[in-house]
Amino acid sequence: EAEVAQSPRYKITEKSQAVAFWCDPISGHATLYWYRQILGQGPELLVQFQDESVVDDSQLPKDRFSAERLKGVDSTLKIQPAELGDSAMYLCASSLDHVSSYEQYFGPGTRLTVT
Amino acid sequence: AQSVTQLGSHVSVSEGALVLLRCNYSSSVPPYLFWYVQYPNQGLQLLLKYTTGATLVKGINGFEAEFKKSETSFHLTKPSAHMSDAAEYFCAVRPPMEYGNKLVFGAGTILRVKS
């Protein structure tokens, strides 16, 4: 069964350092989502791509976060510099397209700890 | 704007007992509704969804949920809890496609199953 892949699964970094997460969606899925899940809360959408274009990044802290999906396939989310409050689980999800976006398939996530 | 309220951050049931996880939503248009399950350090897995049609929806692992428009609720139930049901459950809402496709999650309910 096709799955969304994410790496690394765990990342510990010091504040002010740069960190990057990678996501490979299910093959053929045009829409890709990055979510942040703070402990004790539900996931919150950070950015949504349709192919290589950003369609929603309203909740992305653009002063330190960036995301790209250059070829419309895999994607990278970067934080620079990391802050203590960035400690969270970062989830990637994909769906066939924005029309069927209710069928979102999630990866295992990257748990980030900032010290 | 849409929002989701999950009543009870923690629910504890005995094995074999009824599971009831509560979800209420706020939406200006009839929404699509979802329940996801998350096991420790894993991504989210879709349990079931309501889009249109029959208001009682059945999902995986014996779970079901009923959409009650008059009560703006979408409670999740399972007749008999199993130890393997212990996990965190998230209710989510999104508007019909023509109004956007952003998923909004509740804060989650941790289900504990006692032997």
Each residue's pLDDT tens digit, B71-112: 999 999 999 999 999 999 999 998 776 666 788 999 999 999
Please name the residues in contact with A46: beta carbons below 8 A apart, sequence gap of 6 or more: A34, A35, A36, A57, A59, A60, A65, A67, A77
CA distance A62 to chain B (A): 19
- Could you tell me which of B76, B82, B88 has the C-alpha nearest to residue B40? B88
Cα separation, A70 vs A67, whole angstroms? 10
Contact B44, B52 (CB under 8 A): no
CA angle centred on A78, ends A74 and A84, rounded to 5°: 140
Q: Do A101 and B103 touch (CB under 8 A)?
A: yes
CB neighbours of residue B99 within 10 Å: 14
Per-residue pLDDT band for B28 (boundaries 50, 70, 90) equals: confident
- From first to last of its 115 residues, chain A has per-residue pLDDT tens of 689 999 999 999 999 999 999 999 999 999 999 999 999 899 999 999 999 999 999 999 999 999 999 888 999 999 999 999 999 999 999 998 766 656 889 999 999 999 9
Are B43 and A104 an interchain contact pair (Cβ–Cβ within 8 Å)? no
Which is nearest to B52 in space by CA: B1, B95, B101?
Answer: B95
Distance between B63 CA and the closest CA of chain A, angstroms:
18
| Cβ separation B4–A42 shorter than 8 A | yes
To the nearest whole Å, the CA of A81 is away from the closest chain B CA by: 25
Only one residue has tokens 């970067």, namely A78
Query: Would you place residue B41 in the very low, low, confident or very high pLDDT band (cuts 50, 70, 90)?
Result: confident
* Among A102, A112, A101, residue whose Cα is nearest residue A37: A112
| Mutation to test the A interface, candidates B5, B99, B101, B109, most A Cβ within 10 Å | B101
Task: Report CA Rg, chain A.
Answer: 13
β-bridge pairing B109-114 and A31-37: unpaired
Give the count of Cβ contacts less than 8 A between chain A and B: 59
Instruction: For residue A106, give the nearest of B32, B43, B51 by CB distance.
Output: B43
Tell me the C-alpha distance between B58 and B77, whole Å: 10
pLDDT at residue B95, rounded to an integer: 76
Determine contact, residues B43/A109, Cβ cutoff 8 Å.
Answer: yes
Closest CA relative to residue A109, chosen from A43, A54, A61, A48: A43
- What are the chain A neighbours of B43 within 8 Å (beta carbons)? 4, 6, 91, 93, 106-109
- List chain A residues with CB under 8 Å of B102: 45, 48, 56
Calculate the alpha carbon distances from A66 to A21, A46, A51, A78 in Å: 11, 10, 16, 5
* The predicted structure's pLDDT at residue A101: 57
In chain B, residues with a C-beta closer than 8 Å to the C-beta of A103 are 46
